[in-house]
Amino acid sequence: MGRWKPDARGRLEQAALELYGERGFEQATAKEIAERAGLTERTFFRHFADKREVLFPHANPLHESLVTALDTVPDAAAPIEAVAAALESACALFTERRELARQRQAVIAANTELQERELIKLASLASTLAEALRRRGVTDPAAILAAEVGIAAFKVAFGRWISEPGDQQDLSHLVRESLEELKAVIIGK
């Protein structure tokens, strides 16, 4: 056993999610979060660049998952199909965490600053995806557009998955559905 209780970072994340949920993001101070986790304010800011960052995973497993999935899709697949396959396989990361995801999204939905951070994380995800597409030989306007459009479909699917009651629909199923709707919209049924 070390001198400190293990997983300071995880305890801060947990405490922050609780406090932001209880009294709102702006009403919770970094000091309070740290205290609830048995640490000092200074330690909070050593782990997270700012108050918002504590809600967003550091080494985002979603990035890695998307890239490895994309790299295993057959070369013959069209860009949008490759993106679809990658998104669907990444859904596995969420299946056991629906309640946590709901809590997190509720906190984010209640505060504009947190929404800003969420959006830039999604934009970074789109960049990662576009970069992986370029490695497949997709040239630039198409790579960016396919990535952005894929993320847009994922956002819609995720929103539905979160808001539907209970544990009914599978996220990957909803993603497939959103992408179909997207096609219908673009082709102009």
Partner DNA sequence: GTCTATAGTCCGATAGAC
Partner DNA sequence: GTCTATCGGACTATAGAC
Residues in the site for DNA, rule: CB under 7 A? 1-4, 8, 28-31, 34, 38-43, 45-47, 49-52
For residue 54, the minimal CB distance to DNA (Å) is: 9
What letter does residue 168 receive in the DSSP assignment?
Answer: -
Smallest Cα–Cα separation from 153: which of 121, 176, 128, 184? 176
| Residues 81, 179: Cα–Cα separation, whole Å | 10
Interacting residues of 41 by C-beta distance below 8 A, sequence separation 6+: 30, 31, 34
Partner that binds at residue 128, options a copy of itself, DNA, none, CB closer than 5 to 8 Å by kind:
none
- Taking the least distance from each CB to a copy of itself, the nearer of 37 and 144 is 144
* Residue from 85, 110, 149, 162 binding a copy of itself (CB under 8 A): 149
- Taking the least distance from each CB to DNA, the nearer of 120 and 184 is 120
Partner that binds at residue 38, options a copy of itself, DNA, none, CB closer than 5 to 8 Å by kind:
DNA
155 is an interface residue for a copy of itself by CB under 8 A: yes
Residue 118 CA neighbour count, 13 Å, CB half: 15
